[in-house]
Amino acid sequence: MDEERDYRGGRKKYGKYSQPGGRGLISKFLAFILTVFAAAFMAQVYLLDMFPIQYVYIGGGVLALIALLVWIMAFRRTLFPRLLGSLIALAVIGVLAVGNYYIYQTQETIEEVTDAGSKTIVQTDEMIFVAMKDSGFAGLNNLAGAKLGIQSRMDRSNTDKTLADLQSKIDTPPVTVEYSGMADMVQALYDKDVDAILFNESYKDLITDEFQDFNDMTIVLDKMVYETEIDVAEQQQNKPERVERVVTQDTFIVYFSGIDTYGDVGSRSRSDVNIMAVINPVTRQILLVTTPRDYYVPLPFGADCMDKLTHAGIYGIDCSIETLENLYDIQIDNYVRMNFTGFMDIVDALGGVEVYSSQSFVGEVGHHSFTQGYNLVNGEEALSFVRERHSFIDGDFQRQRNQMEMIKAIVKKIASPSILTTYTSLLSSLQNSFTTDLKSDQISALVKMQLENGGDWNVQTYGVSGTGARRTTYSMGNRSLYVSLQDKDSIAGAKAMMQKVADGEILSDSDNVFGDQE
């Protein structure tokens, strides 16, 4: 018998899609999963807080309508509507799964690179013991009773900590000889006035700039690594009272510090790239002000502490910030700190960038060739491009121009539709590429503002000038180094440009000025 009558007198067909209590179970299950995924997606969107509220309402409304439609189809008696509803549910679930993943990755990345991810940041210091290769020294045991050169003022806390740890490793402590500058201490090692020297590994580039045979002539006996946890909240509280900026309403300044190291971005190092971005969110203007790495400036340790700007980075990001604030008479509100590894990772994650070069040259780093015009570069080539200075007549000033061109190239690539194909790899690279004291809610507010208002930003550039000379420095002591003496008119011009941005004046390409070396 193919059919039978039910108790209501109607016909009842056999089959899994028609039986009482079993009708459309798969469709209803998919409708339930869709509802859960949609709720989770909207919750993540709300917590991310990057989208304008009208977008959130529209997105939530669309998802609610789709879920309602799928539920209605799931309760239909015939097969076709339930099948169509199931297919729609599967498609939307797939989209929501990808969306949830992207939002989760975005939130995780923001928390990782900002101070919202944890209450502390980790600073890494490597203290190394160095002797001459012909000394016959091979390890720490040779330092027992030996003469050890140390710094009297630079990084003294780590020096004292290392000496204390050394005493637990050898029978007789060394006899320490103090020097006020790195060059004096290294020269004493060369002259055999001391048997070995102790210093922070981050100072090594200072040494090799002046003692080019240092790596060939010396040997590292051993090293001691220290990781210091810095409480971000406490650090902010201990700073002098500052004007609080609302990043979507007030002009604010972000300092970009590019340090000359690979690996851990938390390592101490010189700051070779020093760019301040003056941002007016109302007029949508950005002024990039770059200062030469060799600029001869007073460090905030006293009146007699003149040094290269790049050396300020060795004493911490706060030292670089305070030095620039004093130079330009401004308040720097936030910073972004990045090293070589992070820079290369970001360029590679973007699939390379196309950067403009005003002249042809071969970079010393990696010996990569660049032609006049646009060059497609990967991470390693990009690093070679922005680090080169010896190929140019005006040295560091041309390097500053190339760094500006690279910033433009990266911004252009990030703003292009192709960013969607590299989004996950870019997020992954960002997590270990840089650190910043921007808060997650500040970043979210800026992204939300851009999505809400749209449109391009007017980006202009300014580089201060200088005059080449040789002077003694705080970091290297009595040895004269090459420096760039300040051009007061150029600095005044930079200050005037920054004030124009703050006052809401619209800058044009004719305002772009790059410093030159006299």
Q: If you write DSSP's letter for every residue of 415-463 in order, what string do you get?
A: HSGGGGGGHHHHHHHHTTTEEE---HHHHHHHHHHHHHH----EEEEEE
| Burial status of residue 283 (CB atoms within 10 A of its CB: 0-12, 13-18, 19 or more) | middle
Contact residues for 395 (Cβ-Cβ < 8 A; gap 6+) = 389, 517
pLDDT of residue 8: 44
Give residue 420's pLDDT.
59
β-bridge partners, 460: 287
- 190-205 confidence digits (pLDDT tens): 999 999 999 998 888 8
Structure-token pair, residue 353: 């960038």
CA distance 350 to 418: 9
Q: Tell which wins on pLDDT, 263 or 400.
A: 400
Percentage of residues in the chain with pLDDT exceeding 90?
A: 43
**Predicted local distance difference test score (pLDDT) of residue 410:** 83
Q: What is the pLDDT of residue 1?
A: 41
pLDDT confidence tier of residue 11, bands split at 50, 70 and 90:
very low
Query: What pLDDT does residue 234 have?
Result: 61
Q: What is the mean pLDDT of the chain?
A: 84
Is 197 within 8 Å of 150 (Cβ atoms)?
Answer: yes
Environment class of residue 11 by beta-carbon count within 10 Å: exposed (0-12), middle (13-18) or buried (19+)?
exposed
Q: What is the pLDDT of residue 19?
A: 40
Which CATH architecture does the domain made up of 239-511 adopt? 3-Layer(aba) Sandwich (3.40)
**Are the beta carbons of 294 and 309 closer than 8 angstroms?**
yes
Rounded to two decimals, the pTM is: 0.78
pLDDT attached to residue 295: 95
With 80 as the cut, is the pLDDT of residue 318 above it?
Answer: yes
Structure confidence at residue 397 (pLDDT): 79
Burial track 315-346 (b if 16+ CB lie within 10 A, e otherwise): bebebbbbbbbebbebebbbbbbbbbbbbbbb
**Residue 417 — pLDDT band, cuts 50, 70, 90?**
low
Name the most confidently modeled range: 2-11, 105-114, 330-339, 497-506: 497-506
List the Cα angle 246/276/316 in 5-degree steps. Answer: 95
| pLDDT band, very low/low/confident/very high, at 72 (cuts 50, 70, 90) | very high
Domain boundaries in the chain? 12-113, 120-230, 239-511
Question: Using DSSP, how many helices (H) and how many strands (E) does the chain show?
Answer: 16, 21
What does the pLDDT read at residue 13?
46
- 3-class DSSP assignment, residue 298: strand
- d(C-alpha 200, C-alpha 113), whole Å: 26
4 pLDDT tier (thresholds 50, 70, 90)? very low
What type of residue sits at position 24? Answer: G
Tokens of 382: 């990009």
CATH number for the segment(s) 120-230: 3.40.190.10
More confident residue, 146 or 117: 146
Ranges 111-120, 143-152, 402-411, 453-462: which has the least confidence: 111-120
Residue 213 has pLDDT above 90, yes or no: yes
> Any bridge partners for residue 477, and if so which?
473
Helical pair 440-453 and 79-113, crossing angle rounded to 10 deg: 130
pLDDT surpassing 60 at residue 17: no
